[in-house]
Amino acid sequence: MDMTRPAHVPLVTDRRQRLVIFCFLLTALFMATLDNQIVSTALPTIIGEFGELERFGWVGSAYLLATSATMPIYGKLGDLFGRKYVMLAAIVIFTVGSLTCGLAWSMDSLIASRLLQGMGGGGIMVSIFSINADLFEPRERARYQSYSSLVIMASGSLGPLLGGTMSEWFGWRSIFLINLPIGIVALTGISLLLPYRRPVRRPKIDYPGAILLAAVVASIVVWADSVTLFGSLLAWQSMLVVAFGVLCAISWVVVEGRVPEPIVPLKLFRDSTFSLFLVVSFCTGAVAIGMANYFALFLQTTTGLSPSVASFCFIATTTGIVIGSISTGRLISISGRYKPFTLIGLSLNVVALFIFSQLPAGTPVPFILGFMLMQGLAIGFGQQAPIIGVQNSAPREDVGAATGAVTLMRMAGASIAISIYGAIVAAGIRGVGTSIPGVEDIASLTPAMMLRLPEASRIAVHTLYTEAFVPVFMTGSAMALIGLLAACLLKPIRLPAAQVVEKKAGPA
């Protein structure tokens, strides 16, 4: 049904209907973000069936590549054609991709299916935040987007645990096939309950801009994974990828300045809020999403915890995220100010990661859990403001494009940081394992093997990894500091107060 409400009136005025729609949106979001992490612990099982160990990294990278490359495009398509059908298309693509992943017969078919799945996942992640902008007033939106951000972080924490458990009990294909009933439920609920708001302008798709932007993002993701692909971030193949990306970026800027409907309108950069939040999003992605996997490695290699026990330790981080995210959402809703919480979150990130860099080997686990709780609070406090800020600063007709851009920067920060952190850890332990009695190759040392080592050797391994993680946490702290400096330059904007809207059921 065509809904042409004024821009200041929510798409759905009935509060109960809005909440039900929001629950269906969260269901789709959980499904898409969970798949970014759930595959990690299932990879050994998948490799056992298909082989091709040298290509296992692409099972995760293919999803991240497709997700990142399509985010800004989906945001713009929502502005041009309406967010409802773009969201439904993304869910269908993701669900079909999940089916083909579950039916994969080779590593090649699995990687191709992960690309298809990622193309849908990117649309889901961007569209939900854009739809929130249609459903809720700016201050009310802050509270509900805290739940959206919470789902993203919770899925990141639960993904590895669920992936390992489901692979062990039901086989690795179950981690993909479980998305079919979830996708059908989300698709049905959103199609029936979410009204359609037709955009007022005629669609003019910027095909050259979309292709060039996708090429730029693909170059970033491939370069970030070039340690696995080419052996070094500075290999000649890596530099070729960088050169290609720079050429595409320059071409993209030229194209976006000339087309009538650019994928990311360059006029958005005239407002410093948009530009500064791109920097903040990049840095928060690096210290929140990018650091998550390395906390698990840190716990297992410096304390000797098993993978299952280490994954339960993330309850401390998740608890901090829950407290910080929900509290911040309510406080922004009441005060209308988001800058103070951005500053608090990034300041806590700087301090927490610096503390981790100073922890000696053998630090008691309860102390580590306390600092993980602090890191979770930092993430919870700081993760909402970028989306809320850019949606408030962007014109109504460009909300989707702005949301896609800031979400893309968060994923780009995570992707690049993951590669950098991995290269730092690898450099810290390379070539020293032979000096530890009983250790032939420290890189292949599992937690179970570590427990069987003599006490002196085990302590030496813990000490070695503790020292290797010092520059990792210092790098993360420096990234948070860069984000904090950008946040300090934000204007002290106050969100407009919510307007009174007649509460009666909106048409489905």
Mean pLDDT, the chain, rounded, equals 79
The verdict on pTM exceeding 0.75 is: no
Kindly state the percentage of the chain with pLDDT values over 70. 80
Between CA 444 and CA 435 the distance in angstroms is 15
Q: Is the pLDDT of residue 146 over 60?
A: yes
Out of 56-65, 177-186, 231-240, pick the least confident: 56-65
pLDDT at 3: 42
pLDDT bucket at 500, cuts 50 / 70 / 90: very low
Q: Which residue has the higher pLDDT, 499 or 400?
A: 400
pLDDT at 504: 43
Q: Which structure tokens are listed for 140?
A: 């009310």
Average pLDDT, integer, range 411-433: 73
Cβ-based burial of 435 (10 A; exposed 0-12, middle 13-18, buried ≥19): exposed
pLDDT bucket at 508, cuts 50 / 70 / 90: very low
CB neighbours of 68 closer than 8 A, spacing ≥ 6?
122, 217, 220, 221, 408, 411, 412, 415
Q: Is the pLDDT of residue 335 over 80?
A: yes
Between CA 432 and CA 468 the distance in angstroms is 11
pLDDT tens digit string along 115-140? 899 889 888 888 887 787 777 776 67
pLDDT tens digit string along 51-89? 655 555 567 667 877 887 787 778 778 777 778 888 999
Q: Which structure tokens are listed for 228?
A: 């696995």
Q: Which residue has the higher pLDDT, 312 or 270?
A: 270
Q: Is the pLDDT of residue 478 over 60?
A: yes
pLDDT at 104: 87
CB neighbours of 235 closer than 8 A, spacing ≥ 6?
226
pLDDT tens digit string along 350-403? 999 999 999 887 788 888 889 989 998 998 888 778 888 888 888 877 777 787
| Matching residue, tokens 């690898």 | 426
pLDDT at 280: 94
Q: Is the pLDDT of residue 346 over 90?
A: yes
In this structure, are residues 324 and 379 in contact, taking their beta carbons and an 8 Å threshold? Answer: yes
